[in-house]
Chain A
Amino acid sequence: MMLADEASFEVKPSPPAKLAIEGVSKWFRTPRTSVKALENINLTVPEGEFICLVGPSGCGKSTLLDIIAGLTTPDEGRVLADNQVVAGPGRHRLVMFQEAALFPWLNVFGNVMFGLKRVSGLTRKQRREIASYYLKLVGLEKFGKSYVHELSGGMKQRVALARSLAPDPRVLLMDEPLAALDALTREQLYSDIQNIWARRRKTIILVSHNVREATCLADRVFVMSSSPGSLRDEFRIDLPRPRDVNSPEVAITASKVMAALKGHMSVSPKAVE
């Protein structure tokens, strides 16, 4: 996809944030039982790094993302964003969900404007310019007046990406945003995300169960295991960017991550024997 020209608006981009997750634990309590979802998670993410959390379903990776976003409070430990304790959701840590979660009562442009309207210190004109810029960046400048139901799944996630980027957050949290897309659209979005990240650097945490995707996108990949969810292995991916998800280098590295992931699966072949 062609990238848009440099932004015409005069707004200084926010610097990416540093994240520190310190001793975070979380239980899920139902009236009868109490399940430990996360156990003692410690993780430091420097400014502008792209982190990926992979793990089997139910390993608590989405819960961890919710905690970092401030949508859920941890039972133990804390999350620091630029040395400030995260006490609730804030516009500097935006979340992209697996479903695009776009608002059907607004058109595409209105959806991108939604977060922007809650950023103080911008004029109406600036907001409109920023929204147009990001719509162009994701290649949907012609669809500003469309309604959400008129878009394909991939287009919806692109709008969601533009909506998350437009308010210029310092951290972007992605909760399997590409999982529901077809392979071709997904690959297109891999290169889009890498392009955009290169241009407008953010601290990104991506949650995924797709090891190839994680290896293609991240600086560091963390493998999680379930019950209770915990961080097990760390892989630093030093491949040159932009990366192609189909390249042999990505495949080789991904297979190492995959081996680690399988090693932590609760029901491994050895355990059955």
Chain B
Amino acid sequence: MKRVLMIVLFFGALVGVWQLATMSGRWSPVLLPPPVAVVEYLSGALRDGTLAEATQVTLYRLLIGYFIGIAIGLPLGLLTSTSDYFEDTIGALALGLQTLPSVCWVPLALLWFGQTESAMLFVVVMGTVWSVVLATDAGARSIPPIYARAARTMGSEGFDKWTRVILPASLPYVVSGMKQGWAFAWRSLMAAEIFVTILTGFGLGHLLHYGRELSAMDQVIGIMVVIVLIGLGADKVLFSPWERFLHRRWGTGLK
């Protein structure tokens, strides 16, 4: 209860400062709209369905791109962790491409795929895969070798050892890899939506982009708030249950 109160106080104070700043009259309301204007825009967008539609379009792209990224990234990460040969090749490639900001994939995606959903998806996947590979690789390498040794003496070899020992042992690292992948996918998609205008779907990034074109600051801020909330919500829904599970089993994160 005390923690909830602290949260309410903190965010209430932030909004309060914002409100005071707009009331001071130092900044034009075009550039800094009051909180009420943002809330009005959001409730309007909610009522006419723009927001729901844009969120749906964005989340659909995000989930597809993310799961493709995970499906490619996790096995590759486990692969690079097992041999120096793959580490020197695929691992080096992943490290190189991970340093490339995902926006940099946009020109290439536009030329290859045109203004299509594929271009969008390509950017998200490219933004996700490499960070998942690196996180999984680093994680799987830090599994205590004693687990594999103990498993081998108990007659667990090959496929059985992989599915029953290596994979569960790397679970904490796999989850942190997936979490990192999610953050990267989210960033990539927003970059793609801001830069790629397509007719097949109008996502949150597009709303943000047109907010700027129309100088509608209430829309820009409102959409930013929505993007942050979705990011927080995803963390709670997708990853918190896993993390609680891991903390209970591994005895980590206990206070």
A58 is an interface residue with CB less than 8 A from chain B: no
B251 contacts A147, C-beta separation under 8 Å = yes
B153 contacts A89, C-beta separation under 8 Å = yes
- Considering the chains assembled together, what is the distance between the CA atoms of A88 and B160 in angstroms? 16
- Considering the chains assembled together, what is the distance between the CA atoms of A115 and B156 in angstroms? 8
Which secondary structure dominates chain B's binding surface?
helix
B154 contacts A101, C-beta separation under 8 Å = no
With A104-B250, A104-B251, A105-B169 as known contacts, state yes or no: A71 contacts B155, CB within 8 Å.
Answer: no
A105 contacts B150, C-beta separation under 8 Å = no
A101 contacts B155, C-beta separation under 8 Å = no
- Considering the chains assembled together, what is the distance between the CA atoms of A182 and B147 in angstroms? 24
Residue of B at shortest CB range from A69?
A: B153
Which secondary structure dominates chain A's binding surface?
loop
- Please name all residues of chain A whose beta carbon is closer than 8 Å to the beta carbon of B152 when the two chains form the complex: 71, 88-89
- Please name all residues of chain A whose beta carbon is closer than 8 Å to the beta carbon of B164 when the two chains form the complex: 114
Residue of A at shortest CB range from B171?
A: A105
Number of residues on chain B facing chain A (CB within 8 A): 22
A91 contacts B153, C-beta separation under 8 Å = yes
A148 contacts B251, C-beta separation under 8 Å = yes
- Please name all residues of chain B whose beta carbon is closer than 8 Å to the beta carbon of A89 when the two chains form the complex: 152-153, 155, 157
Number of residues on chain A facing chain B (CB within 8 A): 27
**What sequence of 0s and 1s flags, for each residue 154-182 of chain B, a beta carbon within 8 Å of any chain A beta carbon?**
11110010001100110100000000000
**What sequence of 0s and 1s flags, for each residue 25-64 of chain A, a beta carbon within 8 Å of any chain B beta carbon?**
0000000000000000000000000000000000000000
B236 is an interface residue with CB less than 8 A from chain A: no
- Please name all residues of chain A whose beta carbon is closer than 8 Å to the beta carbon of B154 when the two chains form the complex: 91, 94, 114-115, 118, 163, 167
A118 contacts B155, C-beta separation under 8 Å = yes
- Please name all residues of chain A whose beta carbon is closer than 8 Å to the beta carbon of B249 when the two chains form the complex: 104-105, 147, 149
Residue of B at shortest CB range from A151?
A: B251
Interchain nearest-CB distance for B93 vs A (Å)? 27
- Considering the chains assembled together, what is the distance between the CA atoms of A110 and B39 in angstroms? 53
A103 is an interface residue with CB less than 8 A from chain B: yes
- Please name all residues of chain B whose beta carbon is closer than 8 Å to the beta carbon of A119 when the two chains form the complex: 155
B149 contacts A103, C-beta separation under 8 Å = no
B146 is an interface residue with CB less than 8 A from chain A: yes
Given contacts A70-B153, A101-B144, A147-B251, 16 further A-B pairs with CB under 8 A are A69-B153, A71-B152, A89-B157, A90-B153, A99-B146, A101-B150, A103-B165, A104-B249, A104-B250, A104-B251, A105-B168, A114-B154, A114-B156, A114-B164, A118-B160, A149-B251
Q: Which 9 pairs of residues, A with B, have the shortest CB-CB distance?
A: A149-B251, A115-B154, A91-B155, A118-B155, A105-B168, A101-B150, A101-B146, A89-B152, A95-B153
